[in-house]
Amino acid sequence: MTTKSYFMPKQTFLNLPEAKQRKIIAAASDEFSAYGLENASTNRIVANSGISKGSFYQYFEDKRDLFNHLMRILENEKTDFFRDKHPPNTGLDTFAYFRWVIKTGMEFNSAYPRLAQAISRVLFTDGLYFGPIFADLRQRSRAALTAMVNQARAQGELNPKVDIEMAVLVMETWSNVITNSMLQPISQQEDVTTWAHSPEAKKMIDQTLYVMEYGLRNVA
């Protein structure tokens, strides 16, 4: 049995003007980006969003409830973003399609940099992605990768010496490594959009995916 990761905020938050909601979300994104979930301070979020502490608890149960709302926002925005994106052609093999998914995901992260870094910090830097709290999130992610790997195996693209579980683990790990690497410049006060579209960033993604792909690809 898994713990559900997403919860709706209280109706009092949903009744707020959109501009006030955005201010609270921005303050929360900054806080989780800098401190993670465990060390995040409700007092700082309250101060930086211009609300009272009493109001905070009228909107959310606690900081985890607020973080869950950020997760829901990110997932909805990402779904909308990918809905309008299409691979350059329909003849991509599995590894080329995975490369397209990763690069398109990086485009999304550069469009929502602070929100993306907040989620990445908590899930990957703090390691909660691998624990019971977000087990359902990881299961859904791994299910999508498993389908992709099974397709690669069926099409003869996967090295037959590599089993399905190992291939999924490698692709999952590589994806997380790329995401964390691409989001690091934010913490150094660099502009993530500029960084994500720089030749250095593109080279890093290509080389990382090359190492992953040719460790898994059937070259016989």
Determine which helix (DSSP H) or strand (DSSP E) holds 141, and give its type and residue range.
Answer: helix 135-154
Per-residue confidence (pLDDT) for residue 3, from 0 to 100? 41
Reported as half-sphere exposure (CB side, CA atoms, 13 A), residue 170 has a value of 21
CA distance 213 to 175: 12
Report which of 109, 131, 113 is spatially closest to residue 64, judged by C-alpha positions: 131
CA distance 56 to 39: 17
Q: For 35-71, how does the pLDDT look when each residue is reduced to its tens digit (9 = 90+)?
A: 999 999 999 999 999 999 999 999 999 999 999 999 9
- Quote the crossing angle between the two packed helices 63-83 and 42-49, to the nearest 10°: 60
CA distance 117 to 102: 16
- Phi–psi pair at 78, nearest 5 degrees: -70, -40
Third-level CATH fold of 11-68: Arc Repressor Mutant, subunit A (1.10.10)
- For residue 102, give Cα distances in angstroms to 20, 88, 98, 193: 33, 14, 6, 16
Beta bridge partners of 217: 158
Q: Take residue 101 and report the two structure tokens written for it.
A: 């998914």
Per-residue confidence (pLDDT) for residue 205, from 0 to 100? 85
Query: What residue spans define the domains of the chain?
Result: 11-68, 73-216
**pTM for the complete prediction?**
0.82
- Quote the crossing angle between the two packed helices 113-120 and 94-111, to the nearest 10°: 110
Three-state secondary structure call for residue 158: strand
CB atoms within 10 A of CB 182: 24
Under a CB-based contact definition with an 8 Å cutoff, are residues 69 and 12 in contact?
no
Determine which helix (DSSP H) or strand (DSSP E) holds 17, and give its type and residue range.
Answer: none
Per-residue confidence in pLDDT tens, the chain, 220 aa:
334 444 578 999 999 999 999 999 999 999 999 999 999 999 999 999 999 999 999 999 999 999 999 999 999 999 999 998 989 887 899 999 999 999 898 889 888 888 998 998 899 888 888 888 888 889 999 999 999 999 999 999 999 999 999 999 999 998 888 887 777 654 444 566 676 677 887 888 888 888 899 899 988 6
Third-level CATH fold of 73-216: Tetracycline Repressor; domain 2 (1.10.357)
Q: Take residue 98 and report the two structure tokens written for it.
A: 């995975």
